[in-house]
Each structure stands twice: as C-alpha cells, then as structure tokens.
C-alpha cells in the first residue's frame, strides 16, 4: 500500500505478514477471544456512554471552537491498511493544516481540548472504530501517516507494531509513554513496549491495561498536552 505525506509517497508494508503465519488452533482461539473482548466492551461503552457523551461533548466543542466536533484522521492499521480514525477535536480547526505533533503549551489546543486530552475522553469515538473492526480496545497506538513516514524504514521493529490491530490504549500509554516524540528515544521506548505487548497479549493483560488507563485518566495524564 502507498501513502502520501507532504507530496512524497512512501510504501506501507511489513517485513512479515501476520496473516501469512500459520493459523494454529491456539492462535485462532486467542484471536477470537480478543475480538470477543473488544466487541463486548465496545458495545457496552457505545450503548451506555457514547450515546449521551457524544452529543454533550460535541455541543461543548462547537460552542467553544468553530469546526467539526469529530476529527477524522487517516492512520495506519493492521498490516499497513489505512483507516479513518475518529477523535473528538481538541485543536482549533484548519482544514489545510499540515501534521504537527501537539507539544506542551501548544496554542492550537482549545480549552475544552485540554480537558479531553488530559482525561483521554478525546479517544472515546474510537470505540466505533473497534466495532467496525479497524481497532482493538488494547494494542499499539495507531500513528498519523506523516509520523509513520519518519520511522517506517529507519527505526528497527517499528512497522512490526502493525502486525496486530492498533488499540485505543496500549501498554506504552498505560505506562506513561505518550505525548510528543520529538526525541527518537521516546519512540524507541514506545516500540519496545509495543513489542512486549504483542509477545504477551492476553485477555488478562488487556484487562490490566484498561484498568491502568482508567487510573491514569482519573489522575490526569501528565504527558497529555
């Protein structure tokens, strides 16, 4: 698959294709359990929370900043497939703006946006991505296409993050490895966490990561700008 950023085209491909590996009984059962976990949690959240949260937050966003309430951004999914990732908009709206990671004290972040980012509420629409099969509840975070372009062919192990469905939250984020990645070592830390998760993924670990994420959201994520 090809993707374009700043007028340049780069190829999204994996050094090994997860779908090409043998489908052992253990692997199939693990995949079914994970998808079942995703569908159960996402269905509960959409039916009991998003049904009223989206209208309320959408109204607050629209009242405090012109532009759409839901921000749709192309991101890389499993095996390099690009999908439309949904988020509550947290920045001032500019249809033609180029991608720049949010930084501390970023003037583009709105007042309501600061709250949404600190509490992870900006990610809530991604439960709809889970129901659509684009994402999992837990997995390596999907990055914007321009950020992938920086690391896809140069950072060892980077593209292998996409051998599984990306997640709303992940081991890296639950352990504080989030925020901007201007320094390469920050991205390397995320990649190490993502590889650790891929090797050890289980329903029990997913449940732990969800709990850690909730705890971090309640306390307020210090790296969420």
pLDDT per residue over 12-28, tens digit each? 544 444 444 555 787 78
Can you give the pLDDT at residue 6? 47
Whether the Cβ atoms of residue 172 and residue 216 lie closer than 8 Å to each other = no
Can you give the pLDDT at residue 144? 87
Q: Tell me whether residue 107 is in a domain.
A: yes
- Higher pLDDT pick, 182 / 137: 137
Can you give the pLDDT at residue 217? 80
Can you give the pLDDT at residue 23? 59
Instruction: Check pLDDT > 90 for residue 59.
Output: yes
Q: Tell me whether residue 7 is in a domain.
A: no
Q: Tell me whether residue 9 is in a domain.
A: no
Can you give the pLDDT at residue 108? 83
- Higher pLDDT pick, 3 / 161: 161
> What's the chain's average pLDDT?
84
Q: Tell me whether residue 8 is in a domain.
A: no
* Number of domains the chain contains: 1
Q: Tell me whether residue 3 is in a domain.
A: no
Q: Tell me whether residue 162 is in a domain.
A: yes
pLDDT per residue over 76-117, tens digit each? 999 989 999 999 999 887 766 666 666 666 778 888 998 998
Could you give the angle at the alpha carbon of 191 between the alpha carbons of 187 and 192, nearest 5°? 120
Give the burial string for 176-200 (b: 16+ CB within 10 Å, else e): ebbbebeeeeebbbbbebbbebbee
Instruction: Among 48-52, 182-186, 209-213, name the one with the lowest average pLDDT.
Output: 182-186
Instruction: Check pLDDT > 60 for residue 4.
Output: no
Q: Tell me whether residue 204 is in a domain.
A: yes
- Domain hosting residue 84, numbered range: 21-219
pLDDT per residue over 32-46, tens digit each? 999 999 999 999 999
pLDDT above 90 as % of the chain:
51
Q: Tell me whether residue 11 is in a domain.
A: no
The C-alpha atoms of residue 184 and residue 90 are separated, in whole angstroms, by 25
């Amino acid at each position: 698959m090809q993707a374009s950023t700043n007028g340049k085209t780069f190829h999204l491909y994996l050094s090994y294709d997860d779908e090409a590996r043998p489908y052992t009984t253990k692997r199939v059962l693990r995949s079914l359990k994970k998808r079942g976990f995703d569908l159960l949690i996402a269905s509960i959240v959409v039916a009991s929370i998003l049904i009223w949260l989206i209208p309320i937050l959408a109204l607050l966003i629209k009242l405090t900043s012109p532009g759409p309430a839901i921000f749709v951004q192309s991101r890389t999914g499993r095996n390099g497939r690009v999908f439309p990732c949904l988020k509550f908009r947290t920045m001032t709206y500019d249809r033609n703006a180029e991608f720049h990671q949010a930084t501390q004290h970023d003037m583009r972040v709105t007042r309501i946006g600061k709250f949404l980012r600190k509490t992870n509420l900006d990610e809530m629409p991604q439960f709809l991505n889970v129901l659509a099969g684009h994402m999992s509840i837990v997995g390596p975070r999907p990055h914007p296409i321009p950020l992938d372009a920086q690391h896809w062919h140069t950072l060892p192990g980077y593209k292998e993050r996409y051998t599984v469905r990306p997640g709303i939250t992940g081991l890296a984020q639950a352990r504080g490895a989030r925020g901007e990645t201007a320094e390469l070592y920050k991205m390397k830390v995320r990649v190490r966490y993502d590889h650790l998760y891929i090797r050890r993924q289980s329903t029990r670990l997913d449940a732990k990561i969800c709990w850690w994420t909730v705890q971090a959201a309640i306390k307020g994520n210090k790296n969420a700008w």
